[in-house]
Amino acid sequence: MKRKILILGGGFGGIKAALELADDERFDVTLLSDKPDFRYYPALYRTATGGSKAQSRIPLADIFEGKDITVENDEATKLDREEHLVHGKSGKTYHYDTLVVALGVVTNYFGIEGLGEYSFGIKSIEEAAELKSHIHEQLLEEGRPDLNYIVIGGGPTGVELAGALPLYIKKAMKNHGIKHRAVRVDLVEAAPRLLPRMPKDVSRSVAKRLRKLGIKLYLGKKVEGQTRDSLMVEGKPIESETVVWTAGVTNHPFLRANDFVLTDSGKATVNQYLETEPSIYVIGDNADTPHSGLAQTALWDGLYVAKHLIQLADNHQPKPYEPRKPVYVVPAGPKWAAVLWGKVRIYGWVGWWLRRAADLLGYHHLEPWWKASQQWMEENVTEEECPHCLAK
């Protein structure tokens, strides 16, 4: 009898685990995901600033073409541990012998008033497209750009988006026939420095680069609320109709709702094999591991769990999980990125090319080289829906 492996989530971790198990005839693999596509988050800021949607999205059907994997498009809602079943929103149930949970995280506004209603996000293709069309609608309707664009969150996502906005807005203004005028892009971060997970000297270099691009940094400043046309930062309003929230995520609600043991940060407690309990594994952003919250970690976890299951099927003593130190690559504006690779720091154009190489590798984790390079080339594609920009 084949062992039924049910994987929840068609993101970095879930797909990697499924692909690694696909060719092993001892397993019957089902991947359950609420979306028919995989989302390549690292490219979303480019999609939001004039890049193609295709670079941020790969249909699951393409990834698993020719693979012996069942893909179910459904939302996991409930776990029945006694019956070894996961219930889907559709009413269907999915049986497992082994369950792998890789559901990613969801946006968290930390209860700050108005953010849910008025801020934009870039955590999905839809959100990225909404932000882009808002920027263009403002230019079309009012004939002038919003004077102030605010990105909240000085982590990698906030830095890469803020870095890309000035040039994109300038291009859009040109397409809309608006003569040059000052555009303000602000970046607000509650911690006293950008990229708080990285060493101080890297934060300083990235801050210098963003300031050079004309971005105003509000460091050590907490956001307190948002209205339709302003953001309240430490008691002072900053006028803006374009505020993008990149500052907060929280673990997927499925874990709390289904009584997983969680740490104070809301991540699932896992043992040395990434198990939360016998036959249930939690990986990627959902798991409390040292480098959780990165695509590289989710891929590593997916690979580990697949190898672990193969070792068990071979009756070998499984090796414990060893966290892998990530390479941090943070783009900040055109053709510039900061790289932290062990103790080595690289800044500028070389960093940018390392980021390009990392993207190619990222796609290749999920697709053969020829498909991955096609996907990678999408970075050079400009995509606009705005009729003014299409005409240019």
Ligand X SMILES: Cc1cc2nc3c(=O)[nH]c(=O)nc-3n(C[C@H](O)[C@H](O)[C@H](O)COP(=O)(O)OP(=O)(O)OC[C@H]3O[C@@H](n4cnc5c(N)ncnc54)[C@H](O)[C@@H]3O)c2cc1C
* Residues in touch with ligand X (CB under 6 A): 8-14, 32-35, 41-42, 44, 75-76, 102-104, 122-123, 156-157, 252, 254, 284-286, 293-296, 298
Rounded least distance, CB 141 to ligand X, Å: 27
Rounded least distance, CB 210 to ligand X, Å: 17
Rounded least distance, CB 339 to ligand X, Å: 12
Q: Which residue is nearest to ligand X (CB)?
A: 11
Q: What is the DSSP letter of 347?
A: E
| Of residues 146 and 359, the one with the C-beta less far from ligand X | 359
| Of residues 247 and 389, the one with the C-beta less far from ligand X | 247
Residue 383 CA to residue 188 CA, distance in Å, equals: 28
CB-based contacts of 81: which residues, under 8 Å, 6+ apart? 277, 280
Rounded least distance, CB 240 to ligand X, Å: 20
CB-based contacts of 248: which residues, under 8 Å, 6+ apart? 107, 108, 109, 110, 153
| Of residues 178 and 191, the one with the C-beta less far from ligand X | 191
Edge-first strand order for the sheet with 337-341 is 328-331, 337-341, 344-348
| Of residues 122 and 231, the one with the C-beta less far from ligand X | 122
| Of residues 175 and 359, the one with the C-beta less far from ligand X | 359
Rounded least distance, CB 157 to ligand X, Å: 4
Indicate the pairing of strand 184-189 with strand 215-219: parallel
Residue 187 CA to residue 168 CA, distance in Å, equals: 16
| Of residues 27 and 38, the one with the C-beta less far from ligand X | 38
278: left (phi over 0), alpha (psi -120 to 50) or beta: beta
Residue 372 CA to residue 63 CA, distance in Å, equals: 10
Rounded least distance, CB 41 to ligand X, Å: 3
Residue 384 CA to residue 53 CA, distance in Å, equals: 10
